[in-house]
Amino acid sequence: MRGTNAALGVAGLAGFLAPAEAAPRLGLVDEEYVPPASRIAVALGEEAGDPAFWTALGDTLTGWALGLAIASCAGVVLGVVLSVVPYLRQATASTIEFLRPIPSVALIPLAVLLYGSELRSVLLLVVYASFWQVLIQVLYGVQDVDPVAEETARSYGLGTWARIRYVLWPTALPYVMTGVRLAAAVALILAITAELVIGAPGLGQRIGVAQTSQAVPEMYALIVVTGLLGLVINVGARAVERRALAWHQSVRGEVAV
């Protein structure tokens, strides 16, 4: 099963790389603006040999990880609190629906006003974008709690904390995991965008410099790195999800097939 998956994955990648190499070579697109995959690979190799590249990668990962951690904790805590107190949920519903669609990128001037081009600017954008992903999932997750289970727990005399721990949390956890997985991808996108536009140190800033310098292969090489980073993050998030939900029907069902 696992072997087939890997083989299919490699085949898919080859199916993508072959045309990416051939199209510029055959002159279908201009080699100067869309360099063939092999030239991008060479540029990627040169990047990997530059210590500044690794520093930038570290900066991006720091912004991503911190932002995701803050957004996830805040999303889970606030989500649970809002759900447990019905009045709060009703009072905040319209505010959440108002704030949620505001694109994080639109907050760039605000971030620069408050924090300049520091890590905190990146964090503001990352947290703002990924917080909603987690919060909304937590709210849905808590709504999904089985009223019979809840009533049973009550009649057995479980307190609020115990009910959160043994009834609410196991029901909401699959939703939380989905939320965090979505937030992980969004956080990466926003971290890179913030670096690109604001100039905070990181991969995004290097992409920006390559762009304004007309260094096309280097630019694509860095973009490939962000793609790979996204891939790794998604694989990692799925692994965490599988482990945390090993007891859950959805995961057990997947394994049985």
User: Which residue matches tokens 């926003």?
Assistant: 190
In the complex, least distance from residue 26 CB atom to another protein, rounded to whole angstroms: 17
Angle at 65 between CA 75 and CA 165, to 5 degrees: 40
Task: DSSP letter for 100, please.
Answer: T
DSSP state string for 153-201 = HHHTT--HHHHIIIIIHHHHHHHHHHHHHHHHHHHHHHHHHHHHHH--S
Which residues fall within 8 angstroms of residue 7, CB to CB, at 6 or more apart?
A: none
Q: Which is nearer to another protein, 37 or 112 (CB)?
A: 112
Q: Which is nearer to another protein, 163 or 193 (CB)?
A: 193
Q: Which is nearer to another protein, 179 or 208 (CB)?
A: 208
Q: Which is nearer to another protein, 173 or 196 (CB)?
A: 196
Give the binding site for another protein (CB under 8 A): 30, 32-33, 99, 102, 107-110, 112-117, 124, 128, 196-199, 205, 208-215, 218
In the complex, least distance from residue 239 CB atom to another protein, rounded to whole angstroms: 32
Structure tokens at 99: 């704030």
**Distance separating alpha carbons of residues 255 and 3, to the nearest angstrom:** 15
Q: Which is nearer to another protein, 116 or 159 (CB)?
A: 116
